[in-house]
Homo-oligomer: A and B are copies of this chain.
Amino acid sequence: MIKRTNRLSHPEDTVVRVGGDGCEAVDIGGGSLVVIAGPCSVESEEQIVGIARQAAAAGAVMLRGGAFKPRTSPYEFQGMKADGIELLLKAKAATGLPIVTEIMSENHLPLFENVDMIQVGARNMQNFELLKALGRTGKPILLKRGLANTLKELLMSAEYIMAGGNDRIVLCERGIRTFEPYTRNTLDLSAVPALHELTHLPVIVDPSHATGRADFVEPMALAAAACGADGIMIEVHNDPAHALSDGPQSVTPAQFSRLMQKIRAVRAAAADDGGAEAGALL
């Protein structure tokens, strides 16, 4: 049996449309590059709406922000939960950006009704009951690779969602666990061409979580653009030093704006085959 995620079963790239209902429609996959930006955690209306406006002005086409936060310790900030989703929806209304935010339990699905794309975090990549529930939703799903999961396991988790009837899946490389302590995780960029070979599903890259270091986000985001990622998700915070989570890996809106320009230029250069295709990108 050829699996549903296998490129042999669907030779063309899948393009996942996100949003379009009360906000912009964004297409992920098929050769273009989308940038998703926003804070690790939603902290207040002012914070999330402000960052959303600045991210949109710089060229981001989607807004990220955590409402339910999976934290290693039960004593760390766990997110604003339902209130955080409400604030994301306000930011969406204010900017027209579709939103993506993480789910931690199938029981929270009713809260995600107006969320444009539902993220499955690395720690839940093999939470199969959650995957099955998402397979029944028809919503766009952003499926992050687990900390120590192979590409084939990532595809089998996508297969759980597709087996339920939902093929609107975007995969995300976000760093894997290795012996190297200098970065938070090790960003495995070869996952991008590898997944493009194995599957028709789009692949985006999260350099913020992978490196855990704001000053490494630019070089790794540019590398992701150069190697053919279908999207890049970047943590942007207006005040990283006081962020409630992941401040050290967040760039400021000003840094993000400069980075967007470079991302565009690098992608155009990488995709240029003698000029013929350049116009189609970004």
Residues of chain A at the chain B interface (Cβ within 8 Å):
1, 3, 70-75, 104-107, 123-124, 126-130, 132, 147-148, 150-153, 156, 159-160, 163, 176-183, 186-190, 192-194, 197-198, 210-211, 215-216, 219-220, 222-228, 262, 265-266, 268-270, 272
Q: Which of B75, B182, B197, B272 contacts A265 (CB 8 A)?
A: B272
- The residues of B that contact A211 with a CB separation of less than 8 Å are 190
Q: Which of B153, B190, B215 contacts A216 (CB 8 A)?
A: B190
Contact, CB under 8 Å: A153 / B192: no
Contact, CB under 8 Å: A194 / B216: yes
Chosen A-B contacts, 17 in total, with CB atoms closer than 8 Å, are A71-B128, A74-B128, A104-B128, A176-B186, A178-B178, A178-B179, A181-B181, A183-B190, A186-B190, A187-B188, A193-B216, A219-B227, A220-B227, A262-B272, A265-B272, A266-B266, A266-B270
Q: A226-B266, A266-B269 are in contact. Are A186 and B186 (CB under 8 A)?
A: yes
Q: Rank and list the top 6 A-B pairs by shortest CB-CB distance, nearest first.
A: A148-B148, A223-B223, A219-B227, A265-B269, A226-B226, A123-B126
Q: Which of B105, B132, B163, B189 contacts A129 (CB 8 A)?
A: B105
Contact, CB under 8 Å: A74 / B127: no
